[in-house]
Every structure is written in C-alpha cells, then in structure tokens.
C-alpha cells in the first residue's frame, strides 16, 4: 500500500480520513526517526509551515520512491530548498483554499483606512465625539501585484465594488477580466503612480524578492494604501515605513513579514497608520477543514495515479494552474 508521511510543523492534519487510501505515518520534524520514515515514503506532506528538520533529513528521500511532496501552504517557497528542487518528486501546494478569506481581509484593511476606523476606535476609547469626513472606495484604482488565484479573487471583490483593478504578472499580456490591464514587473515603478491602492499577493521567488522596492515606494502617489498578503520579502518594509511616517502614504497593512514572528521591539507595532497582523489573513473559521479536504483529494489522486492538483513550477515558485481566470 502507498505510504504517506506527514510531518507536522505548527499543527497536524487528522490522518484518519486518509487511512482508507494509504498507509499514513506522522513523524515530527525533530524526531530522530524522520530520516528512516522519509526513506520509506512514497508521498510527503509538510503541514503548517516548514522546519529545518525536513531539509536536514532530505538526503534519506529515495529518488525512485518519493514521488510527491505536498505543502498545506498556498505559497510553496519555504519548501523550495535546493535539494528538493533537484529531486524528481512532484511538488504541490494548497492553492485556492484560502483565496476568499484573504480577499475579504484585504478589503477589510482597505476600508478600515478609507473609513478611518482606527481613529474611530481610538476616539471611542477616549469617549470623544469627533465628526469627520471619510473616503469612498468606488472609483479608486487598485493595483494587484501578483495575479494568481488570490490576486484574481482580490480583483473580483474590488471590481464588484466599483474600483477598477490592474495587475502585475510575470510577463505582460493583454487585459483579462477581472483585470483592466496586466503589466510586467519591469513596468511596476511607472504604473504604481496611477493607482490609489496597491495589494501585494505575489509568491516569494528569486524574481519577486524585493519587487516592491524603495524605487516603487517612492513612485507611489500621495495617500496610497498598501496591503501585503503575499510574502514579507517581496516588499521593502523599511522603505514603506519611512514613506508612512513621512506622511506620504495613506495606510500600510502588513500580514506577512520579512521576519516572522515580528519581533516585539519592531517599530512597526507603534507606527501610526499601520495595521500589523500575524500572518492570519486566510485563517478564517473552517480553513483547516478545507485544507484537509484538499489533502484527501490529493492523496486519492496520487494513489489512483491521477493528475495532481496545484502542481508547483519550482523555478518560479507557484502552482502551474492558469495565472488569470475569468
């Protein structure tokens, strides 16, 4: 029977629903038995994060036996260490499961800034009545950096509310709904100035690391709202914070960080105009069940010899399903 090895990092899926499909073993990332378990595995599931123990044990992965590796993350970047890239196994990720909740979170952050909700909460704490005029979302132009499944869901949400959306993709191409235009990354410094909201959903890869750099931040129009739900190293956090504290930006919401957890002494915690959240944008009620449902379907397909879902292009760091859907 096919042997599936689950390595739980932060949490663990319930192996019971998989045991009618395969022999399932659960071995922790620091367990001394991990190399032996990896040597026997036909499929490997790394759940809820990544741990150096997986990379350290990787030499035991038999090239002719281990044929499939799956991560519970939508972004597979943390698993793309050199030895795995060189291994012939197929890597899949959990693309699509968290898209709706992440898009809702992005919308919540943008509306919080436009409707000045942080100030309202602070004034409420002081029992102070202060009438103010807020801003509308309709008509504001949104730029989504990364037009994969999450970026596409974000675009649909904003276009439904009257905010036109353009995208930045690996290679510029003709417009495809819900995007009004699809620019290449080399165009980002030029086109960012035409938008009021910048949402980063791009996965981390060599091509996207530092993509939203100091030059892009400097080109943003005054009052721009920036939200990052992709990966922390895609943006220059220091440049964003300087622009925010200097009064150039209208708000910055970061759910992902260059260093996680964000250190307690980070200046971001006390930065006016910032929303700091601990990588939770997609973690809404029921998300673990949906991740486990996808895992079961992947195990079923693997054991049946069927095509796997969300196969990762290991060179570019994202699933090879269509970049833009309608």
The pLDDT tens digits of the residues spanning 29-68 come to 999 999 999 999 999 999 999 999 999 999 999 999 999 9
Which of 71, 87, 103 shows the shortest CA–CA distance to 201?
103
pLDDT (tens digit per residue) in 252-287: 999 999 999 999 999 999 999 999 999 999 999 999
Across the chain, what does the average pLDDT equal?
96
- Strand 182-183 and strand 165-168: pairing? parallel
Residues serving a catalytic function are 231, 260, 279
pLDDT bucket at 317, cuts 50 / 70 / 90: confident
pTM of the predicted model over 0.75: yes
Write the DSSP assignment of 96-136 as a string of letters: TSSHHHHHHHHHHHHHHHHTTHHHHHHHHHTT---------
As a whole number, mean pLDDT of residues 210-215 equals 98
Long-range residue pairs from 183-188, CB within 8 A, at least 24 positions apart, any chain:
185/211, 188/145, 188/212, 188/216
As a whole number, mean pLDDT of residues 93-102 equals 97
d(CA 234, CA 77): 12
As a whole number, mean pLDDT of residues 108-120 equals 98
Q: Give percent above pLDDT 70 in the chain.
A: 98
Strand partners of residue 200: 145, 228
Backbone φ, ψ for residue 121 (5° rounding): -65, -45
pLDDT at 220 over 70: yes
As a whole number, mean pLDDT of residues 223-241 equals 98
As a whole number, mean pLDDT of residues 99-103 equals 98
pLDDT at 184 over 90: yes
pLDDT value, residue 87: 97
pLDDT at 323 over 50: no
* Domains of the chain (ranges, CATH numbers): 3-97+286-319 (3.40.50.720), 99-276 (3.40.50.720)
pLDDT (tens digit per residue) in 138-169: 999 999 999 999 999 999 999 999 999 999 99
d(CA 269, CA 312): 35
pLDDT bucket at 321, cuts 50 / 70 / 90: low
pLDDT value, residue 101: 98
pLDDT value, residue 210: 98
pLDDT value, residue 115: 98
As a whole number, mean pLDDT of residues 99-113 equals 98
pLDDT at 249 over 80: yes
């Amino acid at each position: 029977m096919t042997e599936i090895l689950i390595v739980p990092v932060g949490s663990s899926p319930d192996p019971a629903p998989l045991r009618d499909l395969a022999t399932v073993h659960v071995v922790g990332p620091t367990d001394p038995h991990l190399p032996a378990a990896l040597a026997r595995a036909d499929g490997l599931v790394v759940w809820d994060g990544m741990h150096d123990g997986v990379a350290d044990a990787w030499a035991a992965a038999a090239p002719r036996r281990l044929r499939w590796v799956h991560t519970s993350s939508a972004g597979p970047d943390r698993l793309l260490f050199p030895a795995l890239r060189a291994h012939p196994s197929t890597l899949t990720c959990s693309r699509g499961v968290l898209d709706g909740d992440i898009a809702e979170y992005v919308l919540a952050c943008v509306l919080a800034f436009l409707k000045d909700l942080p100030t309202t909460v602070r004034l409420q704490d002081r029992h102070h009545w202060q009438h103010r005029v807020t801003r509308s979302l309709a008509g504001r132009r949104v730029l989504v950096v990364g037009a994969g499944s999450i970026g596409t869901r974000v675009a649909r949400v904003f276009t439904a509310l009257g905010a036109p959306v353009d995208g930045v993709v690996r290679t510029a191409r003709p417009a495809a709904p819900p995007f009004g235009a699809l620019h290449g990354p080399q165009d980002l410094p030029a086109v960012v100035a035409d938008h009021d909201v910048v949402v980063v959903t791009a996965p981390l890869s060599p091509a996207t690391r530092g993509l939203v750099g100091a030059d892009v931040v400097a080109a943003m129009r005054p009052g721009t709202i920036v939200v990052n739900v992709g990966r922390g190293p895609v943006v220059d956090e220091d440049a964003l914070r300087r622009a925010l504290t200097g009064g150039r930006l209208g708000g910055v919401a970061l759910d992902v960080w260059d260093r996680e957890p964000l250190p307690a002494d980070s200046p971001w915690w006390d930065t006016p105009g910032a929303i700091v959240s601990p990588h939770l944008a997609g973690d809404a009620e029921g998300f673990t069940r949906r991740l486990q449902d996808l895992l079961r379907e992947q195990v079923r397909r693997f054991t049946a010899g069927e095509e796997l879902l969300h196969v990762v292009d290991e060179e570019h760091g994202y699933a090879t399903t269509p970049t833009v859907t309608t």
